[in-house]
Amino acid sequence: MNEFEAIDRMAALLPERPDDVLVSIGDDCAVFRIGEERWVAAADMLVSGRHFLPAADPEDVGYKAVAVNVSDAAAMGARPRFVLTSAAAPNSETALACFRGVAAACREFGVYPLGGDTTGSDALVVDVAILGVLDGEPVLRSGARAGDLIAVTGELGASEAGLLALTEGIGGFERLKERHRRPEPRLEAGLVAARSGAGAMIDLSDGLASDLRHICRASGVGATVHLERLPLADDTRKLASLLRREPEQLAATGGEDFELLVTGSEAALKRIERASGIPVTPIGEVTVGDDVAFLLNGERIEGLSGWDHFET
Amino acid sequence: MNEFEAIDRMAALLPERPDDVLVSIGDDCAVFRIGEERWVAAADMLVSGRHFLPAADPEDVGYKAVAVNVSDAAAMGARPRFVLTSAAAPNSETALACFRGVAAACREFGVYPLGGDTTGSDALVVDVAILGVLDGEPVLRSGARAGDLIAVTGELGASEAGLLALTEGIGGFERLKERHRRPEPRLEAGLVAARSGAGAMIDLSDGLASDLRHICRASGVGATVHLERLPLADDTRKLASLLRREPEQLAATGGEDFELLVTGSEAALKRIERASGIPVTPIGEVTVGDDVAFLLNGERIEGLSGWDHFET
């Protein structure tokens, strides 16, 4: 049983959905109604040795734990408001350092930490739950329609390249390492996308190859991606070349970009780019059917996949 | 630096409190306003080998992780509505079993699981964040006044006795073991207390000796507890006697009772007992000053304390 089968089996155990829950498990966030307002909620857990290197600075880990949740809220088109942060740490100094990063990220993203828990453990584990508020309609994974363009914000592969530089002990590449340590969720682009006619949206946490499949499955569509169109920075290409890795494949499978994948018309994508000031790069098209094809210069590349958290 | 010093230092790092946050870190839950409604939020993390035995059934662990959060909402006088549950587990089967317990607890307490995260780790770690809604005023830790009575719901020491029976490999005592594995949060009693004039309230998670001190510190008062008045069940006494432990001290320091400690007038305590159908036993008085005294048959007992999650 892999991670996604486990999640499907969990979904089958859910109690009956209350009327005030509008979107349940299966999107970047759940959506629920409180009075006249619509709120989103999600949680993400980071585990030492799985989501970050055991030697990582706990302050970076705390920062990242908040940033990845802000990214989930952004992917719904919501404004994040509150977090609850729990940390299990080998000692109270580590827990405090981690919270210092949490607090820094909260200031950065305009989020307030309502509370949480602190406890002992052998290795650092941080879980953050986030609450955000919607101005308009949420942008769901299920909104992709055949004929839409597929685009991504910013750049792909930088975080994976940074992680490889760290694990392979390669000097330099500080910008890439920082992208891995302190990702930059696309908060404003998400808000803009929601009011600019985005069809579907997801944040790229497990890697494009995985996350695009979530969009296709939820929307009942297929997709064609032209890998040579992926936006890669020069330092990402240089690092890939050093490690003799094909840069576009690295970018399509690498996790933790925390960019947004958006579907929509060419006009909608242009509006998002203009209003957010973040590059929005078309990389493919939504198709009829359920085939998800990755082409590199017209040639199909098989076997691309992102993370499975229970694979070892 | 112990757990509570670490929490104080974390509180100093908080960003400025937004206007819609009414109660911040330092109570059982935070309180915040959404439109006309007031909501509470909290999170509790359970770690293998710290909060439960490594051999514990993951389904029990999932159940308990929800129950202890329901207890936090109850201690504010709130009705729990939603949880977000994250689990790091050695394999997807363990994660699924854990979620089976989460789902069972959600049904039991009328809570809906909005989402969460599932990931890999060496040992099981579960974090639950809870959201609840208030009908009236929240009952805070800071509401104890000199002259009030101190009372507890239900019984004390049963969970600690059950844990000892499990760790010492003592047969029988199934009721106590079940109290440890699947605690029963005092949801109705908490709701009743909020509308029956309770002064202060906290749920007993770290043990009476610790948790009463939280109330005293937050309220700027002292307390006298008469240990011989603690409500102990016969099987708890019997287990304590088997292990040559003083039963009242076991009950005053043992964690995870998830009973409510309430302060108020005699009349208020009687109303809570009547309306909830749960025994509410006066065990002492709130006093002027800051001395927290535990007396056993009139003789002062020093050195009683509950859990510190970073003590080893």
pLDDT in tens, B122-133: 999 999 999 999
- For testing the chain B interface, which of A84, A106, A128 should be mutated: the one with the most B CBs within 10 Å? A84
As beta bridge partners, residue B281 has B152
- The HSE-up count of residue B77 (CA atoms within 13 Å, CB side) is 22
pLDDT at A185: 97
Q: Give tens-digit pLDDT for A73-125.
A: 999 999 999 999 999 999 999 999 999 999 999 999 999 999 999 999 999 99
- For testing the chain A interface, which of B7, B24, B112, B127 should be mutated: the one with the most A CBs within 10 Å? B127
Residue A311 pLDDT more than 80? no
pLDDT at A106: 97
pLDDT at A229: 98
Q: Give tens-digit pLDDT for B132-156.
A: 999 999 999 999 999 999 999 999 9
pLDDT at A312: 40
Identify which of A17, A39, A120 has the shortest CB distance to residue B112. Answer: A17
Strand order in the sheet with B112-120: B21-23, B30-34, B37-47, B125-134, B79-89, B112-120
Query: Position A205: which residue type?
Result: S
Q: Give tens-digit pLDDT for A193-232.
A: 999 999 999 999 999 999 999 999 999 999 999 999 999 9
Q: For residues A28 and A67, what is the distance between their CA atoms, to the nearest angstrom?
A: 14
Q: Which helix (H) or strand (E) holds A149?
A: strand A149-153
Q: List, in order, residues 6 or more apart from A55 with CB less than 8 Å away.
A: none
Residue B193 pLDDT more than 80? yes
Residues of B in contact with A113 (CB under 8 A): 14-15, 25
Q: Which residue of A has its CA nearest to B24?
A: A114
Residue B312 pLDDT more than 60? no
Q: Which residue of A has its CA nearest to B125?
A: A125
Give exposure, A181-206, as e/b (b: 16+ Cβ within 10 Å): bbbbbbbbbbbbbbebebbbbbbbbb
Q: Give tens-digit pLDDT for B79-107.
A: 999 999 999 999 999 999 999 999 999 99
Range B158-162 average pLDDT: 97
**Which domains, ranges and CATH numbers included, belong to chain B?**
3-134 (3.30.1330.10), 141-300 (3.90.650.10)
Range A266-280 average pLDDT: 97
Give exposure, A231-258, as e/b (b: 16+ Cβ within 10 Å): bbbebbbebbeeeebebbbbbbbbbbbb
Q: Average pLDDT of chain B?
A: 94
Give exposure, A55-89, as e/b (b: 16+ Cβ within 10 Å): ebebbbbbbbbbbbbbbbbbbbbbbbbbbbbbbbb
Which pLDDT band, with edges at 50, 70 and 90, does B9 fall under? confident
pLDDT at A284: 98
Residue A2 pLDDT more than 90? no
Record: contact B41-A85, CB cut-off 8 A = no
Residues of A in contact with B127 (CB under 8 A): 43, 45, 86, 117, 127, 129
Q: Which helix (H) or strand (E) holds A32?
A: strand A30-34
| Contact in structure between B43 and A84 (CB atoms under 8 Å) | yes
Proportion of chain A above pLDDT 90, given as a percent: 87
Q: For residues A225 and A295, what is the distance between their CA atoms, to the nearest angstrom?
A: 6
Which pLDDT band, with edges at 50, 70 and 90, does B25 fall under? confident
Q: What is the dihedral of CA A83, A89, A92, A96, to 10 degrees?
A: -40
CB count, 10 Å around CB of B9? 16
pLDDT at B19: 95
Identify which of A25, A39, A81 has the shortest CB distance to residue B115. Answer: A25
Q: For residues B254 and B311, what is the distance between their CA atoms, to the nearest angstrom?
A: 15
Cα distances (angstroms) measured from residue A33 to each of A71, A134, B172, B253? 21, 10, 47, 42
| Contact in structure between B37 and B100 (CB atoms under 8 Å) | no
Residues of B in contact with A42 (CB under 8 A): 84, 115
Residues of A in contact with B312 (CB under 8 A): 120
Range A184-188 average pLDDT: 97
Binding residues of B for ATP: 116-117, 141, 205
Strand order in the sheet with A125-134: A21-23, A30-34, A37-47, A125-134, A78-89, A112-120
Residue B58 pLDDT more than 60? yes
Place of tokens 């607090």: A103
Q: Which residue of B has its CA nearest to A27?
A: B115
Q: Give tens-digit pLDDT for A157-167.
A: 999 999 999 99
Within B227-311, where are the H helices?
234-242, 247-253, 266-276
Which pLDDT band, with edges at 50, 70 and 90, does A10 fall under? confident
Q: For residues B192 and B161, what is the distance between their CA atoms, to the nearest angstrom?
A: 28
Range A168-182 average pLDDT: 97
Of the candidates A57, A69, A30, A48, the one whose C-alpha atom is nearest the C-alpha of residue A126 is A48
Record: contact A45-B93, CB cut-off 8 A = no
Q: Give tens-digit pLDDT for B236-289.
A: 999 999 999 999 999 999 999 999 999 999 999 999 999 999 999 999 999 999
Q: For residue A12, give both structure tokens.
A: 């089958």
